Structure 1
Amino acid sequence: MKQNFTVRQGALDGVEAFLSVARHRSFRKAAADLGVTPSAISQTVRVLEERVGAALFVRTTRSVGLTEAGERFLSHAKPAFEQLVAASEAARGLGQRPTGLLRLSVPRAIVPIILEPLLASFCEAYPEIEVEIATSKELIDLAAEGFDAGIRLGQFVDADMVAVPLTPPFRLVVVGSPAYFARRSRPRHTDDLRQHACLRWRQSSGALALWSFNDHGHAIEIAVSGPLIASDFPTMLGAAKQGMGLAQLPEVMAAEGLKTGKLVHVLEAYAPMVPGVFLYYPGRRQMTPKLRAFIDHVKSHTPGRGKTRAQDDAMRAGARKKR
C-alpha cells in the first residue's frame, strides 16, 4: 500500500497558542502576548486538544496547569517550534540582505578576464557572502545543480534566461605566433585557411566548432583542420603562442598576446562581432540580495557596462542561430 507523505493541513495550528499558555500559565496573558482575545486562545487550544486526542491543560478558575500529556507535548513541541522560528529567521535574513553562499558556474577562460580583477573587492565589500566558482565548459541546469547564476558568452545563453551584460560585444579574431608565420605565409582570405594548421575547439555538445566570419556583411562558417583539438579557449591560446597553429579566439583573450607581440592578428577584415559575456539566471522573481549585490558590483567595476543596441541585436541573432 502506498504511504501518504503529505503534511496534514493545519498540523501546526495551535502550537504557538499552546506554548504561550504553557509559558504564562494563563489564557488571558497568552492572548495579550499574541494580540488576540482570550476566547480565541481557548478555542484554538481546544481544537489542538481534539486533534491530539488528549487534554493538555488542567483549568480552574484560579490557575492553569499542564496535564501529563501536556508536559510530554511541551517537551517535544517547544524545541521543535523554536527551531522552526530560527529557520524562518535564517531564511528571512537571506531574503533581505546580501549574505550566504553565492554559487557561480563559469568557463575557465572567463575567470582571469572578468572575475579575478573584482573578486577581492567584492568579498571585502560583502563579508557575509561566500563565493564559490565552479569552472566548467558544460551548459548546466542552474536550478538542478544548485547554482545562483552562470557566466557565458552571449550566444550560448538560452533565450528564456535573464541575461545581464558584463562586457560590450567583441570580435572573434584569428591569431598566430611570429614563429608560426616564419614558416607559413599569412592568410589573406578565409579560403587560405585550408593550407594552414588550425587549432579547433570542441563544444560541450561534443561537436567541433566551425570558425565564424563576416564576409562583407554575410555570416559564413568554415570547417578547419589542424593538429590540436581543445575543450577550452586558454588551451588554444597557449598552443597558438607556442606556434602550433592558428586559433580563433575572443579578442579580449588575445589582447595581451597581441600587445606584447607574442601573437599576430590575421584576417582582420573578416572578424565577426559576438554579443560579449553575460551573467544569466533563471528569472527576475528569483533574484536574491546576494546575486543582486554581485551583479551591481560587477557592473560598477567593468568598463563598458550597460546594455547597448549592438548587444541586443547580437543576443537576438545568437538565440536565432541556436534554434
Structure 2
Amino acid sequence: MKQNFTVRHGALDGVEAFLSVAKHRNFRKAAAELAVTPSAVSQAVRTLEARIGAALFTRTTRSVGLTEAGERFFSRARPAFEELIAASEIARGIGQRPAGLLRLSVPPAVVPILLEPIIASFCLAYPEIELEIVAGGELVDLAAQGFDAGIRMGDLIAPDMIAVRLSPSFPMVVVGSPEYLRHRTTPERIEDLRHHACLRLRRSNGSVAPWRFAKGNKAIEAIVAGPLIAHDYPTLLGAAIQGAGLAQVPSPIANSAIADGRLETLLTAFAVTSPGVFLYYPERHQVLPKLRAFIDHIRSQGSGGARDGRPLKAAR
C-alpha cells in the first residue's frame, strides 16, 4: 500500500525565526535581521514550541538561552534550513547574472600577493557582486560562519573540500636578515638551529608549529625556540627583516625582501615544498554563480594556474 509522505502543512513555520533568535540569543536582534517586529518573532517561536510540544528557549528579563530540547532542535534544524536556502539560491541563480555578497576567508599573507592584483578588475567586471575579504590566520567553518569559500595552503585544507589551485607549489624558506647573521654563525645543518633565535607560528588549533624540512626522502620536523610567537606569516617575516631572528615562511611572501637584500635564505638544501595555495569550498554545495564568477575571473587573469574545482586530493 502506498504511504503518504506529504510534509504536514506549516511544518516549517517559525523555524527561521527560531534559528535567528538562537543565533543572536536576542528577540530584538532576530526581528531586525528578519525585518519584522519583535512581537511577530515571539509569536512565531511560541507557535513553533506549541506545535513541537516543548519549550525551546529559557527567557529572563536579561537573557535568552536554549533549553536542552532547543539545543537539539537547533543542531538538526540549522543545517537542514541552510540546505533549503542554498537550494533556493541555486534555483534562483540559474541563468541570472552573478550577484550578491561573496565572502572569502583568507590568510593575511595571500592578500597582497594573490588578491590585490585582481580585486579591482573583478569588482569592475561584476558590479552586482559585493566582495568581502575577511583576512585572518584561523581556519574557520565556512558554512557556520557564512563564508562562500576560503583560501589556504593546500596542506591545511580538509580532504573533503573542493579545491581550485591559485598558485604553483613553492618552498618554505628559512630566512634571516644580514644584520642578524653578522653576529652569528650561519646555520648549515638543521641541528644548528638550536643555537639561533627562531620565530614561530601558532596554529589555529593553539599548537606551535614545528619547522618542517626534507632530508632526502625523509620528512623532518624540528622543534625550535626563540623570542617571538605570531599567528600569521607577515608578522614573522617583518620581525625577521628587523633582525629579531630566523623565520620559516612561504617563499612568495619573502621573495621581495630576498631580492632587495633585506633577507638571506638559509638551509635551502633542506627546504620542504608546500603544495601551494588553493581556494576551497564544501563539496556538498553546488557552486553559486557569484563564486563561479570569481573562480573564472582568477583563471582569466592567469593567477597561478587556477583550474576547475575538484576534491583536494585530486587537485594537489
Q: Mark yes or no: TM-score above 0.5.
A: yes
Please report how far the alpha carbon of residue 252 of structure 1 lies from its aligned counterpart in structure 2 after TM superposition. 0.4
Q: CA deviation at 1:280?
A: 0.3
> In the comparison of the two structures, how many residue pairs are matched?
233
Residue 164 of structure 1: how far off its partner (Å): 0.6
- 1:89–1:230 CA distance, 2 compared to 1 (3 A): closer
Give 1:98-247 correspondences, 5 Å limit: 98-247=98-247
1:2-21 mapped onto 2 (5 Å cutoff)? 7-8=9-10
Aligned 8 A contact 2:166 2:279 in 1: yes
SS of 1:167's equivalent? Answer: coil
The CA deviation string for residues 7-27 of structure 1, in whole angstroms up to 9 with x for no partner, is 438x9xxxxxxxxxxxxxxxx
Contact in 2 for aligned 1:237/1:254 (Cα 8 Å): yes
Secondary structure of 1:145's aligned partner:
coil
Amino acid corresponding to residue 181 of structure 2 in structure 1: F
User: 1:246-274, CA deviations, whole angstroms, 9 ceiling, x for partnerless residues?
Assistant: 00000001100001100000100000011
C-alpha displacement of 1:138? 1.5
Partners in 2 of 1:124 and 1:235 — Cα distance?
Answer: 32
What secondary structure sits across from 1:225 in the alignment?
coil
Distance in 2 of aligned mates of 1:276 and 1:129: 27
Paired residues of 2:165 and 2:304 also in contact (CA < 8 A): no
Residue in structure 1 matched with residue 276 of structure 2 by the alignment: 276
Report the 3-state secondary structure (helix = DSSP H, G, I; strand = E; otherwise coil) of the residue aligned with 1:141: coil
Rounded Cα–Cα distance in structure 1 between residues aligned with 2:295 and 2:306: 12
**Amino acid of the structure 2 residue aligned with 1:234:** P
Contact 1:275 1:315 in 2 (8 A): no
Provide, for residues 292-312 of structure 1, a one-character-per-residue CA deviation record: whole Å limited to 9, x for no partner: 0101111222444056xxxx8
Shift of residue 115, structure 1, vs aligned partner:
0.7
After superposition, where does 1:248-267 map in structure 2 within 5 Å? 248-267=248-267
**Residues 98 and 289 in structure 2, CA contact (< 8 A), matched pair in contact too:** yes
Distance in 2 (CA, whole Å) between partners of 1:306 and 1:123 is: 19
Aligned to 1:321: none
Aligned partners of 1:168, 1:231: CA distance in 2, in Å?
24
SS at match of 2:221: strand
The CA deviation at 1:315 is 6.9
Report the aligned-residue RMSD: 2.7
Supply the AA of the counterpart residue of 1:298: I
* 1:94 CA drift (Å): 3.6
- 284-293 or 214-223, which moves further after superposition? 284-293
User: Aligned equivalents of 1:229 and 1:89: distance in 2?
Assistant: 45
Report the Cα distance in structure 2 between the residues aligned to 1:89 and 1:288, rounded to whole angstroms: 11
- Structure in which a larger fraction of residues adopt helix: 1
Is the alpha carbon distance of 1:6 and 1:196 closer, same or farther for their aligned partners in structure 2, counting shifts above 3 Å?
A: farther
Uncovered stretches (5+) of structure 1, i.e. residues with no partner? 12-87, 317-323
Contact 2:163 2:315 in 1 (8 A): no
What does residue 16 of structure 1 align with? none
SS in structure 2 at match of 1:261: coil
Contact 1:199 1:247 in 2 (8 A): yes
Please tell me the residue identity of whatever aligns with 1:305: G
Residue 144 of structure 1 and its aligned partner are, at CA, apart by 1.1
Offset at 1:285?
A: 4.2
C-alpha offsets along residues 86-123 of structure 1, whole Å, 9 cap, x if unaligned?
xx999855443211110001111111111111100000
Q: Aligned with 1:132: secondary structure?
A: strand
Partner of 2:77: none
- 1:269 is aligned with what amino acid? A
Q: Distance in 1 between matches of 2:295 and 2:271?
A: 30
Q: How far, CA to CA, are the matches of 1:239 and 1:285 in structure 2?
A: 40
Please tell me whether Structure 1 or Structure 2 has the larger radius of gyration of its CA atoms.
1
**TM-score of the superposition, structure 1-length normalised?**
0.67
Distance in structure 2 (CA, Å) of the matches to 1:226 and 1:173? 17
Question: What runs of 5+ residues in structure 2 fail to find an aligned partner?
Answer: 1-6, 14-86
Which secondary structure does the structure 1 equivalent of 2:226 belong to? Answer: coil
> In the superposition, relative to structure 1, how do residues 232 and 285 fare at CA in structure 2: closer, same or farther (>3 Å)?
closer
Are the equivalent residues in 2 in contact too, given 1:142–1:148 (CA < 8 A)?
yes
Q: Aligned in 2, Cα 1:100/1:8: closer, same or farther, shift over 3 Å?
A: same
1:243 maps to a residue whose letter is: G
The runs of at least 4 aligned residues of structure 1 exceeding 4 Å deviation read 88-93, 312-316
